Chain A
Amino acid sequence: MRGEIRTYPARGTKERAELVARLADRAKFIRLETVRLAEIPGAGHYTGTFSAAELIASLYYAELRYRPDEPGWPERDRLVLSKGHAAIGLYPVLADVGFFDHRLLDDYTRLGSAFGDHPDMRKITGVDFSSGSLGHGLSVSTGMALAGRIHGLGYRVFCVAGDGELGEGQMWEAAMSAGQFGLGSLVCVVDRNGLSIDGPTEEIMGIEPLADKFASFRWDVQRIDGHDLDAILDAYDRLEPPGRGRPQVIIADTVKGRGVRRMEGDVGWHVGRLAGADYDEVIAEIRAGLQPLTAGGHDA
């Protein structure tokens, strides 16, 4: 069983406000580092990383149990970044929490670097599983969760999945098997930013009603605003103990490109590059923090 059930400070308390402020700052850090690193190769998956910034920050700075000084700790919670193209936002976090020296990131994507567009577990301490090929992560996470049962360990496995990759049949094979095996230790966090490469998911290949789909595969479902850190923490608090017999999904409604106005909801920025003056503007905008959504935004 899980060693501790983490209950976050109640809303309205000073401790809660401090925690949320800290997570907001780290989400900002993820966006800033993404912009910085993407300049090295001259291209980056900005928008799918920005949509997941609050999710990644809240997982690594609040929810996950791990030991940077003992990366192989058998009882650690696992995180599988099924949407591996958000790795550019994961690397700075892994360095920041102490898995490796942040200066290693200066070689991002350069010849021989450990850090590419998608994460490699054999090269990067703290990466629980390699990813990049969409649709695999939930199966891998299911395997880790089954293994936890075999080992008698109470860790949780968090799978951070994109919404576009829910078009892969393997995601639903995994969802079906996790329901069948009753994997209460498995949590899938769907970054529901609404856009895949070619356009809105509901125009390209619709995946709604998503909550109903997961529920029909025998999952417990929560649906939240994936940029609202209070809502995210509440969702983590509502997770049933891992020993319970149903996998759990948090569908996080997000905005692709959130935090940089010109990118918000813009399908053209899935992979892109900032130039000159734009770069400085974007940095300033990120530093200012999340602003009310523009017309292109998801829930505008």
Chain B
Amino acid sequence: MPDHSVRPAPPEAPQASPGQNLSGLFRGTDEAQALKDPKSGKGIALTSVPAFVAGAELADLADTNDRIVVLTADLAHANRTIDFGIRHPDRFFNVGVAEQNMISIAAGMASTGLIPYAATFAAYAALLACEQIRTDCAYTGMPVRILGHHAGMSLGFYGTSHHSLEDLGIMRTIAELTVVCAADANQLRAILRASLSHPGPMYIRMGRGRDPQVYAEPPADFQIGRATRLREGTDLAIITTGSEVHPSLAAAERLAATGIGVRVIDMHTIHPLDTGEILAAAQQAGAVLTVEEHNVAGGLGSAVAETLADAGVAARFRRLGVPGVHVVLGPPAALYAHYQLDAAGIESAARQLLAGFGRPT
């Protein structure tokens, strides 16, 4: 029977008029005020972050690198890979609605020395073309970069057919496949730059392209496989990735205001995992909260739990994510609130975790 017990989600925030700052529309606007640059301590002005930058960034990189090619599956405008296509039409391929064909074509191209970037909805990259990624890209060691955008439930009321809340769980079990999540446009730029010299295939998970800014500029110290510590604190460690980095930082600010120190770790690389950073966080804070826009089964939280269990490190622990359901219908912002994946929800989960742990709440 359908579950009608869930109350209808609140309506989406009012639409912006043209030219208006859009950044507040897709997360609660309150959390935006609290953000500070983790290094300088200065407040971050949440300017409107351009939608998808991958097309433009790859076009820039391709000006000096003739190995780059870009493919998409009838989403050139939705993911802005058209920005690449306009500048490098000879190296841009739209295969139509045929994701499996796209991934295998990319693999064939890579076998001749090219570095293909293949972009489509994360749901169709990681789920529909999963076997092509495994067999044609990972098994062969081909340097194909799969750009899985609109990941998680960021397509909101498009529904489960368009959500990818399983992709991290699937992708991280594929041998020799590097799995990286972009928290914002600037980190995505850094990931793409690093990808040029990275051996083997990569699955690069991206949001809806309207992600609020976390990094003021492409982090110069970005390294695939090395987590980024964004904030220090001794009472709790939040280990998060991708779209949840921003609200996790906002939640940490709120907790700090009541005297709870939170370390926030951007675990951008899910595979291979920076286990040293996880173990250090657990040992130093004693409490670990993982936050991800993904089912709690199989994703970042599972990977962190495996790491702690394998090492015999005990810590108060909770995985925050979508609790293994096909999500209710609603616009993205309402969905994040509904599943406790906004700043308020993360703050609440953190307080519950610590309350059961004899720590101040």
A111 part of interface (Cβ distance < 8 Å): no
Q: Which of B114-149 contact A (CB under 8 A)?
A: 114, 116, 131-132, 135-136, 139-141
Main secondary structure of the interface of A (DSSP, over half): helix
CA distance in complex: A21, B283 (Å):
74
In the complex, per-residue mask of A167-185: 1 if CB is within 8 Å of any chain B CB, else 0: 0011001101100110000
Question: For the complex, is A193 an interface residue (Cβ under 8 Å from B)?
Answer: no
B107:A143 contact, CB within 8 angstroms = yes
Nearest neighbor of A174 in chain B, beta-carbon distance: B101
Binds B, one of A29-37, A125-133, A221-229, A264-272: A125-133
Is residue B111 within 8 Å, beta carbon to beta carbon, of the partner chain?
yes
Which chain A residues lie closer than 8 Å to B141 at the CB level? 122
| Complex contacts, A147 vs chain B, CB 8 Å | 69, 108-109, 111-114
Contact of B69 among A74, A122, A150, A169 (CB under 8 A): A150
Give Cα A147–Cα B144 distance, bound, in whole angstroms: 14
Give A108 Cβ to nearest chain B Cβ, in Å: 20
B171 to chain A, nearest CB (A): 18
A59 within 8 Å of B by Cβ? no
Q: Can you spell out 10 A-B residue pairs with CB atoms less than 8 angstroms apart? A: A129-B108, A129-B111, A136-B135, A140-B104, A140-B105, A147-B113, A147-B114, A150-B90, A170-B104, A173-B101
Tell me the A residues contacting B by CB distance below 8 Å: 74, 80, 120-122, 128-130, 132-133, 136, 139-148, 150-151, 169-170, 173-174, 176-177, 180-181
Residue of B nearest to A144 (CB): B108
A80 to B132 Cα, complex, angstroms: 15
Contact assessment for B100 and A146 in the assembled complex, using a CB-CB cutoff below 8 Å: no
Tell whether, in the assembled complex, residue A74 and residue B112 are in contact, meaning their CB atoms are under 8 Å apart.
yes
Q: A122-B141, A128-B111, A177-B96 are in contact. Are A143 and B135 (CB under 8 A)?
A: no
**Complex-state Cα separation, A89 to B113, whole angstroms:** 28
Specify which chain B residues have a CB less than 8 angstroms from the CB of A129 in the assembled complex.
Answer: 107-108, 111, 140
List residues of chain B with CB within 8 A of the CB of A170: 98, 100-101, 104, 132
Q: How far is the CB of B108 from chain A (nearest CB, A)?
A: 2
Contact B105 A177 (CB under 8 A): yes
Task: Find out whether the CB atom of B107 lies under 8 angstroms from the CB atom of A140.
Answer: yes
Chain B interface residue count: which class?
20 to 34
Q: Is B93 an interface residue (CB 8 A)?
A: yes
Contact among A140, A142, A181 for B136, CB-based, below 8 A: A140
CB pair A139–B108 under 8 Å, yes or no, is yes
Q: Are B101 and A151 in contact (CB under 8 A)?
A: no
* Least CB distance, A178 to chain B, in whole angstroms: 10
| Contact, CB under 8 Å: A143 / B140 | no
Chain A residues, CB < 8 A from B193:
none
Does the CB pair A144–B101 fall under 8 Å? no
Residues of B close to A181: CB separation below 8 A: 93
- Kindly state whether residue B106 has any CB partner on chain A within 8 Å: yes
Given A139-B105, A140-B108, A142-B108 in contact, is the A130-B98 Cβ separation under 8 Å? no
A136 and B106 alpha carbons, distance in the complex (Å)? 12
* B80 adjacent to chain A (CB < 8 Å): no
New A-B pairs, 14, CB < 8 Å, besides A143-B110, A147-B108: A121-B111, A129-B111, A136-B104, A139-B103, A140-B104, A140-B107, A140-B108, A140-B136, A142-B104, A144-B111, A146-B109, A147-B111, A173-B98, A180-B96
B 33-48 to A, binary, CB cutoff 8 A, 1 in contact else 0: 0000000000000000
Residue of A nearest to B73 (CB): A173
Q: Among the listed A120, A128, A177, which residue makes an inter-chain contact with B101, where contact means beta carbons less than 8 Å apart?
A: A177
With A177-B98, A177-B101 given, is the CB distance from A133 to B109 under 8 Å? Answer: no
B319-342 vs A: 1/0 string, CB under 8 Å?
000000000000000000000000
Pairs of residues from A and B, 6 with the lowest C-beta to C-beta distance, nearest first: A143-B108, A139-B104, A173-B101, A143-B105, A140-B108, A173-B98
Question: How far, in angstroms, from A140 to B100 measured CA to CA in the complex?
Answer: 11
Q: From residue A256, how far is it (CB to closest CB) to chain B in Å?
A: 25
Q: Are B104 and A143 interface neighbours, CB within 8 A?
A: yes
Closest to B111 in A: A129
B67 to chain A, nearest CB (A): 9
* Listed residue (A128, A132, A136, A140) with the most chain B CB atoms within 10 angstroms of its CB: A140
Q: List chain B residues, Cβ under 8 A from A136.
A: 104, 132, 135-136
Interchain CB contact under 8 A, A151 and B108? no
Interface membership of B91, Cβ < 8 A: yes
Q: How far is the CB of A159 from chain B (nearest CB, A)?
A: 10
